[in-house]
A and B are shown apart, each in its own frame.
Chain A
């Protein structure tokens, strides 16, 4: 029944949207962690 394709599409779309959003959180978090590592390094005195 082709209607089941719509069912699958709806559930897939839901999880794709959530995973994409979580992905942005995770990538921003790791970028931030790297920045913090940079900040923690002793500052170069010029």
Chain B
């Protein structure tokens, strides 16, 4: 198991480099936007990866609420954290793309807006995990995750209708995509998914180790207290 990590790391690095090359050089230049459009190859896969991670968080939270396995709680925490990281990438690359293309930093485009709300929901989840008392955290966080996940369809519906009433420029363009561009997009998505998996794995190992140490500390102070009471 431990051997796998460095091997996968190297493979992922190679894949990411190849994907980067394709994004910058291999993919054809877009007609209207020019080379700036290549941000698309990082912006969209990050969004898809974030959504998948948030879905994993939902699954892990439901699993925790039903089965109460600590491992599920760690998976929930890890997927939310890494999901927020990828979501941040989306929210940063979005405006950087919007600025040269439309001259504005932000647009209430459906995708950007929904991503912002998603980011807010999961950041609030992380705050709850940080600030709640440790005995309660897994259960409360899991409950919040369920509510947050249920909120997602409402977020999409409400913003969709809001946007059809107040049309905005559409990020990433609507309509069909050149098959060569789709190919590069999917390569980048695969590369970032592998990367996300490895990051989650590392974070998972860190968290399990952290909890073991915390338990050891708790045990030590318990025994130490009893020892000094003699």
List chain A positions with a Cβ less than 8 A from chain B: 1-4, 6-7, 9-11, 13-14, 17-18, 21-22, 25, 28-29, 32, 35-36, 39, 43, 46
Task: Give 5 nearest A-B pairs by CB, closest first.
Answer: A10-B39, A10-B96, A3-B36, A10-B93, A3-B100
List chain B positions with a Cβ less than 8 A from chain A: 20, 34-36, 38-39, 42-43, 46, 82, 85, 88-89, 92-93, 96-97, 99-100, 195, 199, 202-203, 205-206, 209-210, 213, 216-217, 220, 224, 228
B8 to chain A, nearest CB (A): 15
The reply to whether A25 and B93 contact each other, CB–CB distance below 8 Å, is: no
Task: Give the complex CA separation of A21 and B216 in angstroms.
Answer: 27
The reply to whether A32 and B209 contact each other, CB–CB distance below 8 Å, is: yes
Contact pick for A3, options B34, B46, B203, CB 8 Å: B34
Query: Chain B contact residues: over half helix, strand or loop, or mixed?
Result: helix
A40 to chain B, nearest CB (A): 10
B168 to chain A, nearest CB (A): 20
Contact pick for A10, options B34, B82, B97, CB 8 Å: B97
A30 to chain B, nearest CB (A): 10
Task: Give the complex CA separation of A21 and B85 in angstroms.
Answer: 8
The reply to whether A4 and B35 contact each other, CB–CB distance below 8 Å, is: yes
B15 to chain A, nearest CB (A): 15
Known: A4-B35, A6-B36, A13-B93. 4 other contacts (CB 8 A): A6-B39, A18-B89, A29-B205, A29-B209
